[in-house]
Amino acid sequence: MSNVLDHYHFLHEIPELGFEEFKTSAYIADQLERAGLKVTRNINGTTGIVAEIDSGAPGPVLALRADMDALGHIIDGQPCARHTCGHDGHSSVVLTAAQELLEEGTVKKGRLKLLFQPAEELGAGALAMVEGGALDDVEMILGFHLRPLEECQVGQAVPAVYYSACSTLEATIKGAPAHAARPHLGVNALDAAVQAVQAVNTIHLAPGLSWSVKATRFLCDAGVTNSVPDEARVVWDLRSQENAPMTLLKEKVTQAILHSVAAVGATAEVVVLKEMPAAEIHDDATEIIRAAITEVLGESGLTAAKTTPGSEDFFYYPVKRPAVKAGFWGLGTNLVPGLHHPDMHFDIHSLAIGVNIFKACVRRVLG
Ligand SMILES: [Zn+2]
Ligand SMILES: [Zn+2]
């Protein structure tokens, strides 16, 4: 039977973008079937997989979740997919844990489900799994992520990672074209877009809240420099540590854009390109993870819970299915220079620790 590093090396060499994880998904599903698990492919018409170990005895239904997609980078001028968020590591860990748990007969009551989801980076894979019914009979779901070196090191793990909500808004701003010699006959979309950026920068939320908003893309080109441009597109990245203030922030940003462009005679259409909810973590799940980390790494390996301004589409599972208890932990891997960096790398021997922590979680719930 393959071990976690064999799986990792194979998956690392075939990085695929969100919803295009065809080879990745086929490899994982084949490996699970070969080990004797019941496997359902193409969840909701995607590359998503659900596998299951059924004890045959009554008991809880626990799910472990891995993501499968790579990121699209432009390296040396060439677009390419690369595993710079470590989802190849996540899939390898959950796949290996599933194989070993079946082989060792650990699941003695209830059922264990293994979710391999597509398109985490697109913020759409978890939603597709939920809509495909993957969570309908699940009582608890556990996920994890490799953590960067500054958060924890090999031999340590984080029992709960509190991710932020993020939302990406795009405004298409419409003015009216005119010859640059006669600007009074047009509406300059570039001017309007600048107003919108400035207006959004004046937004305030209560000082006790943790949030941010910033413009991250500004596109305006009429093709010539001697005419008044009639269209501009601006993108803003919004963050909030909690879900409720994100609703308020989105509303404030949208109103600031609409009113500021109207002040110069332009109009705007605002759309959400992508969003992910903030962490909704259940204490019962964190307690199981905490005990599992302590069992595998000892007290010295257990760090405090962490908050991060990053986002994870995992939290669509508890947000869309509030009855499901969710836990999300972080694995120390000495990962540098950072997640999403084109040269991201980590100590791959830490993956075996991840397998053991997940197995200890399963033993506590279904053993
Ligand atoms: Zn990522
Ligand atoms: Zn990730």
HEC sequence for the chain: CCCHHHHHHHHHCCCCCCCCCHHHHHHHHHHHHHHCCEEECCHHHCCCEEEEEECCCCCCEEEEEEECCCEEEEECCEEEEECCCCHHHHHHHHHHHHHHHHHHCCCCCCEEEEEEECCCCCCCHHHHHHHCCCCCCCCEEEEEEEEECCCCCCCCEECCEECCEEEEEEEEEECECEECCCHHHCECHHHHHHHHHHHHHCCCCCCCCCEEEEEEEEECCCCCCCEECCEEEEEEEEEECCHHHHHHHHHHHHHHHHHHHHCCCCEEEEEEEEEECCCCCCHHHHHHHHHHHHHHHCHHHECCCEECCCCCHHHHHHHHCCCCEEEEEEEEEEEECCCCCCCCECCHHHHHHHHHHHHHHHHHHHC
Give 296 Cα–ligand 2 centroid separation in angstroms.
23
Q: Is 77 left (phi over 0), alpha (psi -120 to 50) or beta?
A: left
CA angle at 272 for the pair 17 and 190, rounded to the nearest 5°: 105
Please report the domains of the chain, with CATH numbers, ordered by start residue: 4-163+279-366 (3.40.630.10), 165-276 (3.30.70.360)
In this predicted model, which residue has the larger pLDDT, 194 or 2? 194
Question: Which pLDDT does position 2 carry in this prediction?
Answer: 54
- Which residues are near ligand 1, the ion (C-beta closer than 5 Å)? 85
pLDDT of 56-69, one tens digit each? 999 999 999 999 99
Return d(Cα 133, Cα 305) in angstroms, integer: 30
Return d(Cα 36, Cα 33) in angstroms, integer: 5
* pLDDT (mean) for 33-48: 97
pLDDT of 324-365, one tens digit each? 999 999 999 999 999 999 999 999 999 999 999 999 999 999
Q: Are 274 and 238 in contact (CB under 8 A)?
A: no
Give 58 Cα–ligand 2 centroid separation in angstroms.
34
Mean pLDDT computed over every residue of the chain: 97
- Which residues are near ligand 2, the ion (C-beta closer than 5 Å)? 85
Give 223 Cα–ligand 2 centroid separation in angstroms.
38
Return d(Cα 137, Cα 46) in angstroms, integer: 20
pLDDT of 215-258, one tens digit each? 999 999 999 999 999 999 999 999 999 999 999 999 999 999 99
* Number of other residues whose CB lies within 10 A of the CB of residue 311: 22
Return d(Cα 44, Cα 19) in angstroms, integer: 11
**Residue 91: nearest ligand to its CA?**
2
Give 147 Cα–ligand 2 centroid separation in angstroms.
10
pLDDT of 100-115, one tens digit each? 999 999 999 999 999 9
Question: Which pLDDT does position 18 carry in this prediction?
Answer: 98
Please say if the pLDDT value at position 1 is more than 90: no
pLDDT of 157-208, one tens digit each? 999 999 999 999 999 999 999 999 999 999 999 999 999 999 999 999 999 9
